[in-house]
């Protein structure tokens, strides 16, 4: 474990938004693209805090929309680091929604966003601090992140399927 390794809890980020008329589609529901923008902001804040550097979004994966979010709903986005690789970092996002006057919120979305940290001078990718997973959930997300990484690199053409060791082991289980 490197000296710069950081616990996940140090960069956990929560963001609240109220769905306004300008955020909705003609059906009165939050537009998916607006939710993605908020998720990008929340996860970008989380990634930059962990990395102590400017970051750029390099991949958005497994974004699910399980139910519509309505005009006037309160949207809470929670972002946490799962694992750092070399210059990139994976963030897990969960979205919870409730009516303005409701007490309980329901989970409406989740996704994994990947960011790359940039060196401020060269604007080239720079090495990011390692992650210290502490809870059982954090350890599970940490362990599985290596498989998700290979899958996204294969799907984006950055890795040959024959080089994907961990995900092949996982699929053969």
Ligand X SMILES: CC(C)(COP(=O)(O)OP(=O)(O)OC[C@H]1O[C@@H](n2cnc3c(N)ncnc32)[C@H](O)[C@@H]1OP(=O)(O)O)[C@@H](O)C(=O)NCCC(=O)NCCS
Considering the rule CB under 6 A, would residue 58 count as an interface residue with ligand X?
A: yes
Q: What is the DSSP string of 49-100?
A: HHHTSEEEEEEEEEEEE-S--BTTEEEEEEEEEEEE-SSEEEEEEEEEEEET
Residues forming a β-bridge with 116: 56, 88
Cβ 49 to ligand X, closest distance in Å? 18
**How buried is residue 148: exposed, middle or buried, by Cβ count under 10 Å (0-12/13-18/19+)?**
buried
Q: Does 4 bind ligand X (CB under 6 A)?
A: no
Does 114 help bind ligand X (rule: CB under 6 A)?
yes
> Of 5-13, 19-27, 85-93, 96-104, which part binds ligand X (CB under 6 A)?
85-93
18 contributes a contact to ligand X by CB under 6 A? no
User: 104 by DSSP, 3-state: which?
Assistant: coil
**88 is a contact residue toward ligand X (CB under 6 A):** yes
Which region among 6-14, 66-74, 130-138, 149-157 touches ligand X (by CB under 6 A)? 149-157
Both tokens of 55, joined, read 């970051």
Map residues 123-142 to x or -, x wherever contact with ligand X holds by CB under 6 A. Answer: --x-----------------
* 130 contacts: CB under 8 Å, gap ≥ 6: 1, 2, 4, 5, 6, 84
Residue position matching structure tokens 């601090």: 129
158 binds ligand X (CB under 6 A): yes
What's the min distance (Å) between Cβ of 115 and ligand X? 8
Q: Does 156 bind ligand X (CB under 6 A)?
A: yes
Residues near ligand X (CB under 6 A) are 56-59, 85-88, 114, 116, 125, 152-153, 156, 158
């Amino acid at each position: 474990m490197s000296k710069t390794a950081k616990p996940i809890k140090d960069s956990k980020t929560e963001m609240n938004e109220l769905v306004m008329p300008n955020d909705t589609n003609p059906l009165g529901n939050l537009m998916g693209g607006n939710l993605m923008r908020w998720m990008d902001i929340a996860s970008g804040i989380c990634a930059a805090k962990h990395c102590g550097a400017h970051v750029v979004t390099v991949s958005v994966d497994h974004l699910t929309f399980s139910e519509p979010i309505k005009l006037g709903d309160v949207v809470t986005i929670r972002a946490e680091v799962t694992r750092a690789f070399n210059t990139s970092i994976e963030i897990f996002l969960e979205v919870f929604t409730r009516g303005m006057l409701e007490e309980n919120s329901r989970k409406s979305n989740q996704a994994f966003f990947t960011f790359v940290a940039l060196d401020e001078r060269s604007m080239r990718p720079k090495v990011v601090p390692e992650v210290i997973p502490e809870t059982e959930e954090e350890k599970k997300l940490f362990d599985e992140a290596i498989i998700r990484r290979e899958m996204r690199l294969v799907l984006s053409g950055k890795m040959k399927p024959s080089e994907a060791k961990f995900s092949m082991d996982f699929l053969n289980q």
